[in-house]
Chain A
Amino acid sequence: MSTGIVLQIAQTLLAILLAPLLMGWVNQCRAWLQGRSAPPLTQPYRMLRKLFHKDAVLAHDASRLFRFAPYIIFACMVLAAGIVPTIVNDLPFSPAADVIALVGIYALARVFLALAAMDIGTSFGTLGARREMLVSFLAEPALLMVFFTASLISQSTELPVIVQTLAHKEFAIYPSMAFAAVAFWMISVAENARIPVDNPTTHLELTMIHEAMILEYSARHLALIEWAVALKLFTYSALGIALFVPWGIAPRGDLGALPLALLALLVKMIVGGAALSLLEAISAKVRLFRAPEFLGTAFLLGVLGMLIHFLLEV
């Protein structure tokens, strides 16, 4: 048990520390693909350091909700990082929340961010909050559908059991998981505010969603939000790995498999980050009112995956 707790804390800390690195890697790849000279891999860390050192600038009417939201959002993402298996499977904290609770954690963070955005009462804040909720009301059920497909196969909503089943069952092709994988990809793109739904580098009012919400934040609050965003990307990538390419995650108690698991994680993250930036580079951002269509497609694919599971795999 005590090794379990040590491993749990180590894995969570590793996720917290590695998350900005993944962000840096995606940014680097994107810069290369766009023919720019890339910022160094450690750029997100420098950014965080700079932000933490600055004085927080708050609007006169900012309430406590506004000041506390970044901490809650960050805590939610840390919690998510504690649940999603990255290196070791079946850690002591995982029974506290299953995949449905995981969706709840993301929702909690999102609602707080949206509420904080509406707190000052600028037109951009409310605009961002409205758009974010618009994107999420389709993305969240779609994510649940993906999880449902996986949990119908593994007869469980516990992530460790899902990973265990999918990684160690004799090799079988699940057509439903193929649909779920496409849906999951579309959802992660939308939820992490990437192209084609949102553009993380834009500040153009016609297009921005996530950036509009955090316009009023500065210094340590902004640093926490940026870090939470990086963690969200990291946990979503880890989720994708756990659901669709789970091979390599060490089972519980098998300390010898740890180095290999770490290596596997790094390789998968590098490939995944490169793929994300490649897909971003070749697609264009869609109009805001096409975003529900995009997510509606993801939702339908998720439902289809579930139906196909019932049709072909039961």
Chain B
Amino acid sequence: MALSSYFLVTTDHDIPDIRRAGFLYLLIAHVGAVALLLCFGLLQGVGQGLAIGDYTFNTMRLAEITPFWASIVYLLALFGFGAKAGLVPMHVWLPEAHPAAPSPVSALMSGVMLKTAIYGLLRVTFDLLNVQISWWGTLALALGLLTALYGVIFAAVQSDMKRLLAWSSIENIGVILAAFGLTLIFYTDGKGALAALTLTALLYHAINHAFFKGLLFVGTGAVLHATGERRMGKLGGLLRFMPWTGWLTLVGALAIAGLPPLNGFASEWLLLQAFLLTPGLTQPYLNMVIPVAAASVALAAALAAYVMVKFYGVVFLGQPRDPDLVHARRTTWAERLGMIWLAAGCVLLGLFPVQVIDWLSPVVRLLTNQTLVNDGNWLMLAPVSAERASYAPLIFLAVVAAIVLLVFFGVKRVYHGRVRRVDPWDCGYPEQDARMQDSAEGFGQPIRQIFEVFMRVERETPDPFDRKPQYRGDSRDKLWLLLYVPIARLAGWLSDQVGRLQHGRIQWYLIYSFATLIFLLVFVTR
């Protein structure tokens, strides 16, 4: 999978940056794959002694594994699948690779391929391993929340459309992983019903993310196709020139911001409900951890709304920042259809949560032996009991729509519907132009200022006497500098050391072969 998507990422391989992104992706995917191979090998080997196994899931399932080795297997799986899913700190490839790929591929990668890693993690933890230990869940919860917050903060400071969406994918993976951690916590605590609730929320969010992120990436692709531009600082006002893309993308943006009655809200609602059911847990330290975790999830969700207002507002609203945008090419029907079904999915998945949960229940039963019981009717979602919590998105939408129509026609009827078109108010300052709007950097500036500890910010501010003032602000991932640059340096140093073996003299090479041969003979004859 990593290989074939490597070729997808490097579709435009004549651009050096894209080749670099593809290589980074391939590298981290393979580091993850090594961990996974070790993980499956352990599952096979530990149970069977040294006998040669057949590596089927059935033998792995039967493996009698000690808690220590089970923990090692779990950690390897978390690392391996985490690298493929974009878990912090293995996330660095994601904001490089997803924007480098063509938009439909990005949609596929963000929407579906990241979820295969989650699938693998679920499979190994709940299906293949016989033992589950509670600290696993706490670890996954903590890592997931870190990923969610890290992702959303960086999404807020991006100024490239696709890079912003890629960071937002990291956030969503973090939320999903946090749900995974909570599921494990409930499961190991013997609260099967609550584990089923959390797992349902996890799967639901995974499907939802596939739809809204897919929609946003395809919408971005349409913009890119029409304008040839993906830097947000050059776009603006596209709702006027590309109404189809604009309105359909709005659905995706509202859904990902977690607003009712769309699908993003439904899964987040379920997850928050799960957090509120924690007082039954037997381990007291978890009761301390979980409120903080719930607060972080809420914070990430609120920041996601910030990110989406920025994304939509800068790209689709306001004045075009580049005069050429007026000639933005209209979308074709194929492009529209690609967005319409995804947008419809966002709406329907949000309006019929009860049905979606029904579809998910076989999977939930398979993994946790329990299902989520809905206490409400087909309209109303009530996960534990109707007394406890309920949410009816269809009624919600119907009431909002009814009030909107009532007020709209009421106001028109009682008063009048007269409209006068004028220039926007210029605040008494006659020279207003499109560059006075917030740029993407400007809109993200408060977040950059508040969360500056996580990033390395490079600024070039103009001098007051500059003829052509230019501003540049670049926020880099600090983890890249703190973690990856030292590792790369270490790898470089090591290969330099190994490189000393290579002299180009045939005598030395013969000695190497000879020494290796003797070593191997000693090893075999022992």
Contact = CB atoms under 8 A, between A and B. Distances in A.
A96 B380 contact: yes
Contacts of B299: 137-138, 141, 299
A121 B305 contact: no
Interface string A42-82: 00000000001101111111010100100110111011001
B420 A57 contact: yes
A123 B295 contact: no
B313 A303 contact: no
B354 to A, nearest CB: 13
A130 B442 contact: yes
Contacts of A152: 276, 279
B399 A71 contact: no
Contacts of B418: 55-56
A289 B490 CA distance: 41
Contact of B302 (A61, A82, A137, A151): A137
B319 A61 contact: yes
A302 B302 CA distance: 15
A129 B306 CA distance: 10
A22 interface: no
B294 A148 contact: yes
B403 interface: yes
A155 to B, nearest CB: 7
A53 B438 contact: no
Contacts of A138: 299, 302
Contacts of A108: 254, 259-260
Nearest to A51: B415
A211 interface: no
Nearest to A149: B291
Nearest to B385: A156
B40 interface: no
Contact of A101 (B301, B391, B403): B391
B517 interface: no
B387 A156 contact: yes
B420 A56 contact: yes
Question: Which of A63, A95, A110, A114 counts the most chain B CB atoms within 10 A?
Answer: A95
A136 B427 contact: no
B478 to A, nearest CB: 21
Interface stretch (B106-114, B191-199, B234-242, B335-343): B234-242
B309 A129 contact: yes
Interface in B286-336: 287-288, 291-292, 294-295, 298-299, 301-303, 305-306, 308-310, 312-314, 317-319
B79 interface: no
A216 interface: yes
Interface in A106-131: 107-108, 110-111, 114-115, 118-127, 129-131
A305 to B, nearest CB: 9
Contacts of B392: 95-97
Contact of B258 (A78, A97, A107, A215): A107
Contact of B309 (A104, A133, A205): A133
B313 A75 contact: no
B403 A75 contact: yes
Contact of B260 (A59, A104, A119): A104
Interface in B412-436: 414-416, 418-427, 432, 434, 436
B437 interface: yes
Given A120-B318, A220-B415, A158 B387 contact: yes
Interface residues of A, number: 80
Contacts of B138: none
Contact of A215 (B313, B425, B442): B425
A75 B279 contact: no
A123 B254 contact: no
Contacts of B265: 101, 104
B19 to A, nearest CB: 37
A104 B267 CA distance: 13
Contacts of B308: 111
A289 B436 CA distance: 21
B388 A158 contact: yes
A108 B253 CA distance: 12
B224 interface: no
A224 B438 CA distance: 26
Nearest to A135: B446
A97 B425 contact: no
A38 B437 CA distance: 38
B131 interface: no
B437 A98 contact: no
B269 interface: yes
A161 B390 CA distance: 12
Nearest to A72: B404
A127 to B, nearest CB: 7
A161 B387 contact: yes
B449 A289 contact: yes
B302 A136 contact: yes
Given A78-B403, A121-B318, A133 B305 contact: yes
Interface stretch (A23-31, A238-246, A251-259, A306-314): A306-314
A314 B254 CA distance: 37
Nearest to B260: A104
A133 B312 contact: no
A122 B424 contact: yes
A61 B298 contact: no
Nearest to B398: A96
B272 interface: yes
B297 to A, nearest CB: 8
A157 interface: yes
A144 B258 contact: no
A59 B432 CA distance: 13
Contacts of A134: 306, 446-447
A158 B375 CA distance: 14
A264 interface: no
Contacts of B382: 95
Contacts of B288: 307, 310-311
Contacts of B443: 126, 130
Interface string A265-299: 00000000000000000000000010010000001
B395 interface: yes
A129 B260 contact: no
A148 B386 CA distance: 17
Contact of B239 (A65, A82, A93, A151): A65
A100 interface: yes
Contact of B313 (A55, A76, A100, A126): A126
Given A56-B420, A111-B254, A310-B279, A105 B404 contact: no
Contacts of B239: 63, 65, 119
List 5 A-B pairs, minimum CB-CB distance, nearest first: A121-B318, A141-B298, A121-B319, A118-B313, A126-B438
22 contacts: A61-B319, A65-B239, A74-B404, A79-B403, A95-B376, A95-B386, A97-B260, A100-B391, A122-B427, A123-B436, A129-B438, A130-B310, A134-B447, A136-B302, A136-B306, A144-B294, A144-B295, A145-B291, A152-B276, A156-B388, A289-B446, A292-B450
Given A59-B425, A292-B446, 12 more contacts: A59-B421, A76-B400, A111-B309, A122-B424, A122-B425, A122-B432, A126-B318, A130-B446, A156-B389, A220-B411, A224-B411, A314-B287
